[in-house]
């Protein structure tokens, strides 16, 4: 029994250690899929961090507006030196009467003021700040969508060039073997020296293309690291040998995507938020014509008493409590143009919303048609690759049997390599067009 427990404990320990080692190996290699890169980007991208700070600022502005509803309360006090208290009861140029008062003075008291009614401007200001906060959220969502699409574009650009690199590397390996075969045939007098030279030139061009692709891969990795908010020299690799899934791409029609866009698009939500803000602003300007009511209270202790007759060198207290009303009569005619301008701004925002609707409809239509065209390009590229592969097989056999020229073989091989490039590029373009459509509709 003791041996069984020891064996079980040992197996569990080995299992946990192996999982930890595998996790370390996975993180050290830096292999990340698109979803994982998106997750890191959402938390580390600098533009998104800036937009998130703007969201926090909007929330604080709402709380600040709510603070305006609280009553005003202040405590004040002072200490002072008093001059002589002279009363000119017979005129300025007569001898004054010197009223005996203290040579110093002080006061201490409080002041309280609470708004009862001001046309609803304070509460409406809170609604304005809340709508501004909602608009900041829409702007953040728009920035997030755009950033995710930029990450996807860089990711699939890297995917494409890594595929190209493998294609070129395989072609270089195959071409070296073919060059060796042609050199042997040339030694035996079967083919001409020009065939060897042509093959060597093609091999040099492939090696140059390989170097160019490696540079583009390094640039795309740096771009992805920057979008993730990481240092540009951190190792990064993606599972580029996995095929691109296109099963989920064929789905809804144009009408479905347009309905989603008009419901979920952050761009469309922003213009509707602008309409709400302009309508609130109209009511805010109109409220300037209404009277304002407030409750107030104040009380002060003052020394000496020189505010009311008879004067006294004693400490005295005095306060008031009541309700105050202010009616700005001048605003009845001064605010006419301000109200008219606010209403014009509302009309402008409504027209902007209609324009934005047309723009979104056009963007969705364009992206949808590009998606359909990309799907057709994929099918054409698949057919071309099958035909090119068969052409290379046939021409290579006929060349070895001295039934065709080397130029025909080289052209066929170049065409096959190009069709591989085209198929990969078409698949990447199809995926990116689908993601762009999702970004426009606001559901990426």
pLDDT digits (tens, 9 = 90+) for 25-48: 444 446 889 999 999 999 999 999
| Percent over 70 (pLDDT), the chain | 92
Residue ranges and CATH numbers for the domains of the chain are: 29-69+122-151+224-291+331-441 (1.20.1600.10), 71-117+293-326 (2.20.200)
Please count the other Cβ atoms lying within 10 Å of the Cβ belonging to residue 192. Answer: 13
Q: List all residues 6 or more positions away from 313 whose beta carbon is below 8 Å from its beta carbon.
A: 100, 101, 102, 304, 305
What single-letter DSSP state applies at residue 330? T
Is a pLDDT exceeding 70 seen at residue 18?
no
Is a pLDDT exceeding 80 seen at residue 102?
yes
pLDDT band at 248 (very low <50, low <70, confident <90, very high): low
pLDDT band at 17 (very low <50, low <70, confident <90, very high): very low
Is a pLDDT exceeding 60 seen at residue 425?
yes
Q: How far is CA 44 from CA 56, 103, 144, 368, 402, in A?
A: 16, 67, 12, 31, 62
Q: Which two tokens stand for residue 442?
A: 């606001």
Q: Between 269 and 444, where is the model more confident?
A: 269
> What sign for the dihedral angle of Cα 5, 6, 9, 15?
negative
Q: How far is CA 245 from CA 150, 242, 430, 432, in A?
A: 19, 9, 10, 12
Q: Between 202 and 13, where is the model more confident?
A: 202
Taking Cα atoms as reference points, which of 286, 398, 408, 279 lies closest to residue 349?
279
Is a pLDDT exceeding 80 seen at residue 380?
yes
Instruction: Please give the Cα distance from 337 to 277 (Å, whole number).
Output: 19
The residue assigned the tokens 């001059």 is: 83
Q: Which two tokens stand for residue 10?
A: 């040992």
Taking Cα atoms as reference points, which of 400, 404, 402 lies closest to residue 181?
400
Q: Which two tokens stand for residue 364?
A: 């969705």
The mean predicted confidence, pLDDT, of the chain is 86
pLDDT, average across residues 195-205: 87
Whether 279 and 346 have beta carbons less than 8 Å apart is answered as: yes
Q: Between 98 and 276, where is the model more confident?
A: 276
Q: What angle do CA 111, 79, 319 make, to 5 degrees?
A: 30
pLDDT, average across residues 73-86: 88
């Amino acid at each position: 029994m003791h041996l069984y427990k020891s064996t079980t404990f040992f197996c569990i320990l080995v299992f946990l250690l192996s999982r930890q080692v595998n996790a370390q190996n996975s993180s050290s290699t830096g292999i990340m899929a698109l979803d994982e890169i998106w997750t890191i980007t959402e938390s580390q991208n600098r533009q998104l961090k800036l937009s998130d700070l703007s969201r926090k600022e909007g929330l604080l502005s709402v709380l600040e507006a709510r603070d305006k509803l609280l009553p005003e309360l202040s405590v004040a006090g002072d200490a002072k030196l008093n001059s002589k208290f002279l009363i000119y009861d017979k005129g300025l140029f007569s001898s004054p009467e010197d009223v005996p008062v203290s040579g110093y003075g002080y006061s201490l008291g409080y002041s309280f003021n609470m708004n009862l009614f001001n046309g609803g401007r304070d509460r409406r200001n809170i609604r304005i700040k809340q709508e501004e906060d909602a608009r900041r959220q829409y702007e953040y969502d728009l920035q997030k969508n755009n950033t995710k699409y930029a990450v996807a574009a860089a990711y699939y650009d890297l995917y494409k060039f890594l595929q190209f690199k493998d294609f070129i590397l395989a072609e270089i390996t195959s071409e070296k073997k073919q060059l060796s075969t042609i050199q042997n045939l040339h030694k035996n007098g079967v083919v001409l020296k020009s065939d060897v030279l042509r093959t060597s030139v093609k091999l040099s061009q492939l090696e140059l293309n390989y170097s160019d692709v490696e540079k583009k891969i390094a640039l795309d990795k740096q771009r992805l690291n920057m979008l993730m908010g990481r240092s540009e020299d951190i190792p990064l690799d993606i599972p580029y040998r996995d095929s691109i899934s296109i099963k989920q791409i064929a789905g809804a029609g144009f009408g479905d995507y347009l309905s989603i866009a008009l419901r979920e698009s952050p761009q469309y939500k922003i213009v509707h938020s602008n309409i709400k803000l302009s309508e609130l602003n109209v009511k805010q300007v109109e409220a300037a014509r209404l009277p304002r009511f407030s409750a107030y209270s104040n009380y002060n202790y003052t020394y000496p008493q020189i505010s009311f007759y008879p004067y006294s060198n004693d400490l005295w207290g005095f306060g008031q409590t009541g309700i105050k009303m202010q009616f700005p009569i001048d605003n009845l005619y001064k605010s006419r143009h301000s109200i008219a301008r606010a209403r014009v701004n509302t009309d402008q925002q409504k027209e902007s919303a209609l324009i934005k609707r047309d723009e979104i409809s056009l963007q969705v239509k364009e992206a949808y048609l590009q998606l359909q065209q990309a799907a057709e390009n994929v099918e054409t590229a698949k057919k071309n690759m099958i035909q090119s592969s068969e052409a290379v097989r046939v021409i290579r056999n006929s060349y070895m049997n001295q039934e065709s020229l080397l130029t025909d073989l080289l052209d066929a091989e170049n065409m096959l390599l190009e069709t591989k490039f085209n198929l990969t590029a078409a698949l990447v373009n199809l995926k990116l067009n689908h993601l762009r459509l999702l970004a426009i509709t606001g559901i990426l």
